[in-house]
Homo-oligomer: A and B are copies of this chain.
Amino acid sequence: MENGTVKGMLFDVFGTVVDWRRGIARDVAAYFAPRDLAVDADAFADAWRAQYQPSMEKVREGARGYVPLEILHLENLEVTLDAFDLSGKVDEAGRTELNKAWNRLPPWPDSVAGLTSLKARYAIATCSNGSIALMLALARYGGLPWDALLGAEIAQSYKPMPGVYLASAAAMGFAPGEVMMVAAHNDDLDAAQSAGLRTAFVHRPTEHGPEQATDLEPTGAWDFVANDLVDLARQLDA
């Protein structure tokens, strides 16, 4: 692809830049272990995350106004605790503490180096369903060198609604075609491409653990396909 007109890059964060499953499982285990409660932390993380997409659906449909993702995460935690028969074992302070696990997600090993290289040539920003506060916490936790924190909060909507990509590109001061969306998820790229953005698929074959069955391969005509963010920077001569 000719990429001379690309000025900015937007990144999905959960799964593409940070390893949410490892971070959540780690903090869930750290919370329950000293309380002598046996919990399969990986399964808990998967169950919590499984409600992520459905919980945003009412906002996308307009049946519910925009609420920041932290609120949905907390509501989804309640459901997850119920499913694991742990509702009576975790008080409100504990739920607040557990919910903070989303502020402490480890970057993939290549993320900081790849973003740093890309930043030298392109403006780089988040285009996440997470709030600005959540993105700020993750950036400071993991040393992610964003130029700007964009996405759901500035659009008051959730991906894959087209307005989220368009508002994020506009906030950078660029036309949609001057911006490349980077994600490990084909549906995210599909929506970005439909909105007029360039696209780059990044392989994250263990985002959902060793049994991952989705997004193992690019399924669309994306402009770039990369093994990780360092590889993407190399392909873009950044």
Contact = CB atoms under 8 A, between A and B. Distances in A.
Interface in A142-171: 146-150, 153-154, 170-171
B136 A147 contact: yes
Contact of A123 (B136, B147, B172): B136
A109 interface: no
Interface string A111-144: 0000000000001010000011111110110000
Give the size category of A's interface with B: 20 to 34
A146 B148 CA distance: 8
A173 interface: yes
Nearest to A150: B132
A72 to B, nearest CB: 16
Copies in the complex: 2
Contact of A173 (B125, B136, B148, B172): B136
Given A136-B123, A154-B154, A148 B147 contact: no
Interface string A166-193: 0000111100000000000000000000
Contacts of A140: 123, 147
A149 to B, nearest CB: 5
Given A153-B171, A154-B154, A171-B153, A139 B133 contact: no
Contacts of A171: 131-133, 153
Nearest to A70: B173
A132 B169 CA distance: 11
A171 B132 CA distance: 6
Contacts of A135: 148
Interface in A183-208: none
Nearest to A8: B136
Nearest to A147: B136
Contacts of A147: 136, 139-140, 146
21 contacts: A123-B136, A123-B140, A131-B173, A132-B172, A132-B173, A133-B171, A133-B172, A133-B173, A134-B173, A135-B148, A136-B147, A136-B148, A136-B172, A137-B173, A140-B147, A146-B147, A148-B148, A148-B149, A153-B154, A153-B171, A154-B154
Q: What 7 pairs across the A-B complex have the smallest Cβ distances? A: A133-B173, A132-B171, A148-B149, A136-B148, A136-B147, A123-B136, A136-B172
